[in-house]
Amino acid sequence: MTREEECAKINKAIEAIDFKGEYLSHEKYGSGHINDTFLACFKKEDNSTIKYILQRMNHHIFNPEKLMENICNVTSFLREKIEKTGGDPNRETMNVIPTKDGKSYFTDSIGSCWRAYVFIEDATSFDKVEKPEDFYQSAVAFGRFQNLLSDFKADTLHETIVDFHNTPKRFETFKEAVKKDGLNRASSVKEEIAFVMNRAEDMKICMEMLEKGELPLRVTHNDTKLNNVMIDNKTGNGLCVIDLDTVMPGLSIFDFGDSIRFGANTAMEDEKDLSKVSLDLNLFEQYTSGFLEGCHGSLTENELRMLPMGAKMMTLECGMRFLTDYLQGDVYFNIHRPEHNLDRCRTQFTLVEDMERKKNQMHQIINKLS
């Protein structure tokens, strides 16, 4: 598609969506890899400027209809809750801008699906932890997200990615990849394969607890990285959880665990020098403190007890997925060097081992803070 054709598609989407004011301009925005995101500016009657986020959704990954139904239901529920507690629903949750015919998204002539949100002014999202306070504030925001949605009926949401954190099914896919070994790579990663197989019993614990009703089904975000929280520029407080594409039914301990996996690791996700990889207990405590503050007592005793296991399982599952992709020929995750997925896998497994060593300390922190 030429630049002119691209602009024509964007302009059609802008015409179809019920933006307020006179259109001024748009530009590429953000660092996301899934959707195409633009910042669109409009002039209001008083000559002030209002900004919106315009996105072309990746309909190859998501079903736009189910995705937007989830987002609209969750954000309208959040808006009502925030209003009742005296918050600012225009800044503390995402707000979908409907199309001029009242729909949640616009489909153009080539089948691309476009949606828009109010842009949250005077707030920033960070791609990495620049100071521990930001990590803490992201925890408060994700915990508050859990708390506000604690009485939302999670089973009414669509699974935007089916079995996303169904670890037993991920394990079955892994075993099939080992058995198939289409690229003859299994013999070179026997140690990593054994690492997974030695933890086969761990794979089913959380899902079995869910099935028995020992862990509640929750509304979960499923991408709880720092850059999915807007931090208020003036107060430094976690303001709004964004990127709701993977919001669906799940376990709160997995949302907590994925944040720990990503944010409390002392090394990068693909660090080759495994001596640099460990669980930073200070960051673990800082995040836990913020998360529990935000949850405001909405977690059950079993959820609190299983938070360390959530961290371990998200790390183990992620490492297993990297290893599965390596065995299958690097077909899912983008790689930037040979054996990149193998490096990622080894980093995750090293972090799992350190979590296992620090299990008692993690539980002590949970007990102290709860």
> Does residue 1 register a pLDDT over 90?
no
> Does residue 31 register a pLDDT over 80?
no
List Cα–Cα distances, 3 to 9, 47, 101, in angstroms. Answer: 10, 30, 28
> Does residue 137 register a pLDDT over 70?
yes
Q: What is the pLDDT of residues 94-114, one digit of tens each?
A: 999 999 999 999 999 989 999
List Cα–Cα distances, 60 to 31, 36, 65, in angstroms. Answer: 19, 13, 13
Tell me what the mean pLDDT of segment 10-14 comes to: 95
pLDDT for 58 equals 87
pLDDT for 33 equals 67
Pick the range with the lowest mean pLDDT from 120-134, 202-216, 309-323. 120-134
The mean predicted confidence, pLDDT, of the chain is 95
Q: What is the pLDDT of residues 109-129, one digit of tens each?
A: 989 999 999 999 999 998 887
Tell me what the mean pLDDT of segment 63-76 comes to: 97
Pick the range with the lowest mean pLDDT from 3-7, 65-69, 200-204. 3-7
Percent of the chain with pLDDT over 90: 91
pLDDT for 61 equals 84
| Domains of the chain (ranges, CATH numbers) | 3-121 (3.30.200.20), 132-369 (3.90.1200.10)
Q: What is the pLDDT of residues 250-287, one digit of tens each?
A: 999 999 999 999 999 999 999 999 999 999 999 999 99
Percent of the chain with pLDDT over 70: 99
DSSP at 200: T
Q: Are 81 and 148 in contact (CB under 8 A)?
A: yes
pLDDT for 49 equals 95
pLDDT for 60 equals 83
**CA 350, CA 334: separation in Å to the nearest integer?**
21
- Measured at the CA of 172, the angle between CA 203 and CA 317, to 5 degrees, comes to 45
> Does residue 47 register a pLDDT over 70?
yes
In terms of Cβ atoms closer than 10 Å to its own Cβ (0-12, 13-18, 19+), residue 151 is exposed
Q: Which of 78, 317, 148, 309 shows the shortest CA–CA distance to 214?
A: 309
